[in-house]
A and B are shown apart, each in its own frame.
Chain A
């Protein structure tokens, strides 16, 4: 059996299989808008490999974390700009 970890996305709890990227958990929580751009446009992940930086979210109070290359850990608190 694959173990699950539970994280919170904007206050909503999401349970995901171990090894899931934070970006994927955010999408599972039904969010498509990860952040607002410098002029306020909605943005979400693009490259999936940590290069474009469009998927930035706040993780455990650390802003600007790339959610596509960060793996979910039990109890993580994730905040999007949405």
Chain B
């Protein structure tokens, strides 16, 4: 099976804010802790940067705390399947390791929700966070015309970031209704004063860039590559020429790991107790709500899970109030940015839904659930394992994903072969 096995009291998968917080407090409590991530360093997508000194202050504080905690950080290591008994299998550049745990904390984060519309498969139509993280990794955006579309506060954050990197933001198209956003804005001072300041900061950054509400993309146009995008406000449609369309409709939690381990999920959420423990004893989960409340909520949930996994229940309990506050904020945000029904009808019969296998919406029309569509059309059976199309179909048709199978992320054949020969 694995080339070697190493055991820890607490293992944390995912080194974003939630995982960093969980690993730090569990290690500070004296447990032996391993923090595993498939990227080259800590921070996750939200705090990702090429150099640690470019990280925001909160990230640097947690990084210092993590480094001083005694937790062992194991990067460039992709956890891809559960092992036989209280362990996970993870792939490294030179082989497979088995990592044993007494308690496991899943802090695997979220992914963007992409909705299919005509032309969405063209090169240079990307995610909002997608273009943002790629620009952090050197993707050239200077002087490029970018339309930022979809939904959620990430639109503002990404537009501000891209503008700082020299992109020309043509406009931002937010599908949410203005009235809902105004209500949300009015609640902000009570829910989260810090967020209000952050929001005001973005407005300042983006001064002069049109932020259109009640506005969404209906088609991306171009032959071999994106040339323009058609936007609508429900009454009229117009075309904006651009080099990139950054488009995503919020975040949805990654449920592959919880499901693989048999944790119960309900309506797209992992079922959790007060201490972030799943229905599988000893397995905890961080920031897996469909609402995906952002960094503050991940940090609080991460600490609660870390303390609970380390057996420090009173320390965990002291954070319940803080968690209630971040949850309230997340709920208000979820409500303000809820998706309009028109988005479910953007794809036409010949729009590709499954990008890996090129399956169109028309081809899956006669099916009424994901399993049947999958078996008959190969929808969701390509390399991404349905991560993109199944999330979209869940939103469009309300279809529930069936149980995932390992590997959780694309893995070398040798790693899998080694695994099955021992099974």
**Is there a chain B Cβ closer than 8 Å to A76's Cβ?**
no
Which of A23, A37, A38, A48 contacts B127, CB < 8 Å? A48
Report the separation of the CA atoms of residues A19 and B356 in the bound assembly, to the nearest whole angstrom.
28
B124 touches A32 (CB 8 A): yes
**Is there a chain A Cβ closer than 8 Å to B315's Cβ?**
no
- B127 proximity list for chain A (CB < 8 A): 46-48
Which of A21, A37, A48 contacts B131, CB < 8 Å? A48
B383 touches A53 (CB 8 A): yes
Segment 91-121 of B: residues with Cβ below 8 Å from A = 111-112, 114, 121
Given contacts A19-B50, A33-B225, A51-B111, A45 and B134 within 8 Å (CB-CB): yes
Given contacts A41-B358, A53-B383, A46 and B125 within 8 Å (CB-CB): yes
B137 touches A42 (CB 8 A): no
**What per-residue 1/0 map shows which CB atoms of A21-39 lie under 8 Å from chain B?**
1011101100011100111
Which of A20, A46, A52 contacts B137, CB < 8 Å? A20
B225 touches A32 (CB 8 A): yes
- A43 proximity list for chain B (CB < 8 A): 121, 123, 355
Stretch of B38-46, B177-185, B283-291 lying at the A interface: B38-46
A39 touches B388 (CB 8 A): no
Which of B39, B130, B139, B357 contacts A24, CB < 8 Å? B139
A15 to chain B, nearest CB (A): 12
A50 touches B224 (CB 8 A): no
**Is there a chain A Cβ closer than 8 Å to B382's Cβ?**
yes
Chain A residue nearest to B409 (CB atoms) is A50
Given contacts A16-B138, A42-B224, A69-B38, A52 and B387 within 8 Å (CB-CB): yes
A65 to chain B, nearest CB (A): 9
- B356 proximity list for chain A (CB < 8 A): 38, 53
A46 touches B138 (CB 8 A): no
A54 touches B355 (CB 8 A): yes
Chain B interface mostly = loop
Report the separation of the CA atoms of residues A66 and B215 in the bound assembly, to the nearest whole angstrom.
33
B225 touches A52 (CB 8 A): no
**Is there a chain A Cβ closer than 8 Å to B210's Cβ?**
no
- A20 proximity list for chain B (CB < 8 A): 50, 137-138
Report the separation of the CA atoms of residues A9 and B387 in the bound assembly, to the nearest whole angstrom.
29
Chain A residue nearest to B412 (CB atoms) is A62
CB-based A-B contact count at 8 angstroms:
117
B167 to chain A, nearest CB (A): 13
**Is there a chain B Cβ closer than 8 Å to A68's Cβ?**
yes
Chain A residue nearest to B114 (CB atoms) is A46
Chain A residue nearest to B109 (CB atoms) is A49
**Residue from B38, B130, B138, B409 with most neighbouring chain A CB atoms (10 Å):** B138
Segment 47-75 of A: residues with Cβ below 8 Å from B = 47-54, 56, 64, 66, 68-69, 71
- B125 proximity list for chain A (CB < 8 A): 46
**Is there a chain A Cβ closer than 8 Å to B129's Cβ?**
yes
A50 touches B140 (CB 8 A): no
**Is there a chain A Cβ closer than 8 Å to B339's Cβ?**
no
Given contacts A34-B123, A51-B388, A45 and B130 within 8 Å (CB-CB): yes
**What per-residue 1/0 map shows which CB atoms of A1-25 lie under 8 Å from chain B?**
0000000000000001101110111
- A34 proximity list for chain B (CB < 8 A): 123
- A32 proximity list for chain B (CB < 8 A): 123-124, 224-226
A66 touches B410 (CB 8 A): yes
Segment 76-92 of B: residues with Cβ below 8 Å from A = none
**What per-residue 1/0 map shows which CB atoms of B393-423 lie under 8 Å from chain A?**
0000000000000000110000000000000
**Is there a chain A Cβ closer than 8 Å to B15's Cβ?**
no
B134 touches A21 (CB 8 A): yes
A31 to chain B, nearest CB (A): 9
Report the separation of the CA atoms of residues A27 and B409 in the bound assembly, to the nearest whole angstrom.
24
A21 touches B138 (CB 8 A): yes
**Is there a chain A Cβ closer than 8 Å to B384's Cβ?**
yes
A sample of 14 inter-chain contacts (CB < 8 A) reads A19-B138, A20-B50, A21-B138, A24-B137, A38-B356, A38-B357, A38-B358, A39-B358, A42-B122, A47-B388, A48-B127, A52-B384, A69-B39, A71-B40
Residues of chain B whose beta carbon lies under 8 Å from any beta carbon of chain A: 38-40, 45, 50-51, 111-112, 114, 121-127, 129-134, 137-140, 224-226, 352, 355-358, 382-384, 387-388, 409-410
The 3 A-B pairs of least Cβ separation, nearest first, read A44-B123, A20-B138, A24-B138
